[in-house]
Amino acid sequence: MAINNFPWENRPDNCKDVMWRSSQNPIIGRYATAISNSIFNSAVVPFGDGYAGVFRCDDKAVRMNIFVGFSHDGINWAISDTPIKFEPGNTDMIHSDYKYDPRVTWIDDRYWITWCNGYNGPTIGIGYTFDFKTFYQCENAFLPFNRNGVLFPKKIDGRFAMLSRPSDNGHTPFGDIFISYSPDMKYWGEHRCVMKVAPFEESAWQCLKIGAGSIPILTDEGWLMFYHGVIATCNGYRYSMGAAILDRDDPSKVLWRTRDYILAPAAPYELAGDVPNVVFPCAAITEGNRVAVYYGAADTTVCMAFGHIDEIIQFIKTHSL
Ligand code: BMA
């Protein structure tokens, strides 16, 4: 089904890259809500005749929380000034010290949300909604410490599947991507390593840690997943975006992953902000062969990049590790 209001810009004539930035970046500025210090690392899905999203807004006390937003065109957003309030879902234990870096996907009959949930340190929080009005919070997926929990948009072998990145309580100087399965969204197991960092001689931008980014997209070649990779420079961490293709039936198998990054901090709004040099993908929407990726820039704003799925797959295969 063609989406009339799919957010899209054609590749600029002078651009030779596999993906290109929106000319409207940043599409969401740091002060887009009454209380925000920054809005970034946020998730977007088609909803009704437009789009809905769950946004990470840090407030002016720099408290991290997630907020609902709506848009007709995927570019202009109305984001709530008050954080999402969750009702008990599959548990009464919905304690949360903070929430950040949400992802959203439709599975079966509802929208599922994952985020980094503060419960004695960061771990993966899970919630769901049918309408983006009432939200339910479930048991955390894992023990602390974990980040970057990203669900697959459909069950695999009858079970929910989630990528995640075990971590520590700080600015984790390590990290690989794992997959876990659940029959019921409550109990998670069969943890398998999917992808490790790359040797710095071969692909330095992803040599310190990697984390799943957008909800994987099912293509003819397997699951296309945008992820972030990090290098520790003499001046701090630098976050770039790569992509991988995981086996359709066993997504713990990486078929190809990029050696070359697809998008790295280069635009002024990626180079400067509360945390300089961060490109952090959290969502991707598609329409036919077109993909629009939403990414956080410099932990300050929300930006978009566009590409053609067949060209991205070709790029991953021809520039793979
Ligand atoms: C990670 C998370 C992300 C953030 C990134 C860069 O550990 O906190 O939310 O974008 O660091 O600061």
DSSP reduced 3-state for 63: coil
The residue among 202, 157, 203, 164 whose CA lies nearest residue 180 is 164
Model pLDDT, residue 1: 45
pLDDT tens string 168-189: 999 999 999 999 999 999 999 9
User: What's the average model confidence in pLDDT over 102-121?
Assistant: 98
User: What's the average model confidence in pLDDT over 71-94?
Assistant: 98
User: What's the average model confidence in pLDDT over 11-17?
Assistant: 96
Q: Atom 1, ligand 1: which residue's CA is nearest?
A: 171
Ligand 1 neighbours, Cβ below 6 Å, are 41, 100-101, 171, 239, 275, 278, 280, 296, 299
Model pLDDT, residue 3: 61
Task: Tell which atom from ligand 1 comes closest to the C-alpha of 101.
Answer: 9
Token couple for 320: 């793979």
Q: Residue 175 contacts by C-beta under 8 Å, 6 or more apart in sequence?
A: 147, 165, 166, 167, 197, 208, 209, 210, 211, 230
Cα separation, 38 vs 28, in Å, equals 9
The pick from 54, 269, 278 for probing ligand 1's pocket by mutation, whose C-beta has the most ligand atoms within 8 angstroms, reads: 278
Phi and psi at 269, nearest 5°, equal: -75, -10
How large a percentage of the chain has pLDDT more than 90?
99
Cα separation, 121 vs 24, in Å, equals 36
Q: Atom 2, ligand 1: which residue's CA is nearest?
A: 101
Cα separation, 228 vs 243, in Å, equals 8
DSSP reduced 3-state for 49: coil
pTM for this model (two decimals)? 0.97
pLDDT tens string 17-55: 999 999 999 999 999 999 999 999 999 999 999 999 999
Identify the band that residue 152 occupies on the pLDDT scale cut at 50, 70 and 90.
very high
Q: What angle do CA 197, 170, 137 make, to 5 degrees?
A: 95
Task: Tell which atom from ligand 1 comes closest to the C-alpha of 172.
Answer: 7
Asked if 45 contacts 51 with a C-beta cutoff of 8 angstroms, the reply is yes
